[in-house]
Structure 1
Amino acid sequence: MAVKINGINHFAISVADLEETIKWYSDIFGFTVVNRSEIPGAGIRVAHMQGTGFLLEVFEAPGSAPLPEDRKIPNRDLMTQGNKHMSFGVPDGRKAKEQLEALGVEVAMVAEVDDTYGVFIRDNTGNLIEIFEEKGDVVFNQHK
């Protein structure tokens, strides 16, 4: 029998500057910090940020390596195995693109698939984020 899951709990990223990343996700998507901690003995600072329907776990590890450039380019990133991006569903992809651009966020790629519209952006550290227009019968987040 399959394990019953409730949905996505959190997505984790490692960044160079915890405070800068907290500000970016707060300013761009309205995330709020719900707690902060440090991994004992490792000097790794952690913040959990509440988004719509899930938590973003942000790590700042001293001496961590930056994201390789190929991981910052949407289709090139597919050539490296592993996690690809996080995706946020929106009701109107074109409107979201306009709002992001007004906030100074660079669009890395426009993604039009069938009758949906989306864009890929990068956060302040270079992590790819897909902004995906949810429409039709497909529901990606059951906790709306």
Structure 2
Amino acid sequence: MSNIPEFSFHHGGVSVPDLDAAIAWYGDTLGFELERRFFIEAANAHVAMVKRGPLRFEIFEVAGASPLPEERRHPPSDVKTHGNKHVAFIVDDFEAFLTVMEEKKADVAFVVREKFGKGCFIRDCAGNLIEFVEENKP
């Protein structure tokens, strides 16, 4: 038994060039709703917290921020750079989820169908990678 206090996941964070466009994208594409907006003076960042059930994303817009490098927009090349990679969500039916994402014209970056499970990465409106997986049931 560990003496580490319990903790659980609260949110993922992304930086985008246009906060309003990102709020709309996360709402229209993934069903997140705006929870609140605020300003972080120390980072000169306009921020929105969006929520879907217990899941949250914190979205930052910072004037003068650099765009996401091209190699960070594709999963096989992104893992070649140290640092955070993506957040992943589980779906019950991957094929149904992928169909909906294609109908919504989401930017599907990468699809995997393996014996251990299947999933995909989509890019948000700023190119940030988000993974969705369906685990094989034993």
| TM-score, length basis structure 1 | 0.87
CA deviation profile, 1:39-87 (whole Å, cap 9, x unmatched)? 1365310111112432111110000000000000111101001111111
Q: Which sections of structure 1, spanning at least 5 residues, go unmatched? A: 138-144
Letter in 1 for 2:37: R
Match of 2:114 in 1: 113
Contact 1:116 1:134 (C-alpha < 8 Å) held by counterparts? yes
Counterpart contact for 1:90–1:133, Cα < 8 Å: yes
Aligned residues: 137
**1:113 deviation in Å?**
2.7
In the alignment, what sits opposite 2:124?
Answer: 123
Deviation, 1:115, is 4.4
Partner of 1:90: 91
Aligned to 1:71: 72
CA distance in 2 between partners of 1:41 and 1:127 (Å): 23
Cα distance in structure 1, aligned partners of 2:31 and 2:47: 18
The structural deviation recorded for 1:116 is 1.8
Query: How far apart in 1 are the matches of 2:42 and 2:74?
Result: 35
Q: Extract unaligned runs of 5+ from structure 2.
A: none
Map of 2:35 onto structure 1: 34
Deviations 1:72-116 (A, max 9, x none): 011110100111111111001111111000001132111123242
1:80 aligns with 2:81: yes
CA RMSD of aligned residues (A): 1.6
Could you list the structure 1 runs, at least 4 aligned residues long, displaced by more than 2 angstroms after superposition: 1-6, 40-43, 51-54, 134-137
Tell me how far 1:131 sits from its aligned partner. 1.1
Identity %, equivalent residues: 37
TM-score (norm 2): 0.91
